[in-house]
Chains A and B, each alone.
Chain A
Amino acid sequence: DAKTTQPNSMESNEEEPVHLPCNHSTISGTDYIHWYRQLPSQGPEYVIHGLTSNVNNRMASLAIAEDRKSSTLILHRATLRDAAVYYCILRESSANDYKLSFGAGTTVTVRA
């Protein structure tokens, strides 16, 4: 499995942006970058994914470095509900890629 490296924890103030980095220096050309988050006492939920171009959706933005060896998940205005563990995961662009390989993730704390 391709590996990702994330900081253990990050803190933010409510209504401020949060930038969550992820390093994936061994990423292959066919790997997509996925982000999931897990709120306390819940199962993980999908946030966003991308291949090469930056991506935006209602939850977040994903900025991918030109060499694809790193990416950043951006929460534009953090709310208390965004306090969660955020996981950066690489997935092959293949129907045979059947699993999500979770690491330890980044624990995000949002201060009111």
Chain B
Amino acid sequence: DAGVTQSPTHLIKTRGQQVTLRCSPISGHKSVSWYQQVLGQGPQFIFQYYEKEERGRGNFPDRFSARQFPNYSSELNVNALLLGDSALYLCASSRETGLSEAFFGQGTRLTVV
């Protein structure tokens, strides 16, 4: 089975622009989560979606939004980009919520200039 796939792998955007990141979970996984990892720190939780509904939201501004589609793939949108949004954005999928093992993708490296 293919693992979690994220696209694009790298992205450069200008301050004030908007960006959409995409994630395809492992087949059969209904839960998708998004994390932001700034250089030198551990990943920070942004969102979790389960069965197309938002189940959890981290401490991020409203500029960050996400959605999950009927095929369980997901998009993360960030509006009005700031330099501080430069980070590795990770997507993780799991069969269920709760204690299910999370499988992470390779991430999308976003650079805001």
Contacts and interface: CB of A to CB of B under 8 A. Distances in A.
Contact of B45 (A32, A36, A44, A100): A100
B27 interface: no
A49 B52 CA distance: 27
Interface in B70-112: 90, 92, 96-99, 101-107
Contact of B98 (A36, A43, A97): A97
A32 B90 contact: no
Interface residues of A, number: 25
Given A32-B99, A44-B104, A98-B56, A87 B90 contact: no
A45 B98 contact: no
Interface in A84-112: 85, 87, 91, 93-105
B99 to A, nearest CB: 6
A46 B4 CA distance: 14
B64 to A, nearest CB: 15
B106 A96 contact: no
Nearest to B96: A95
B103 to A, nearest CB: 7
Interface string A40-74: 01111110010000000000000000000000000
A52 B107 CA distance: 33
A43 B105 contact: yes
Interface string B50-79: 100001101000000000000000000000
Nearest to B41: A104
Interface of B: 4, 31, 33, 35, 41-45, 48, 50, 55-56, 58, 90, 92, 96-99, 101-107
6 contacts: A43-B92, A43-B107, A45-B104, A94-B98, A95-B97, A103-B42
In the A-B complex, the 3 residue pairs with the smallest Cβ-Cβ separation, listed nearest first, are A43-B104, A102-B42, A95-B98
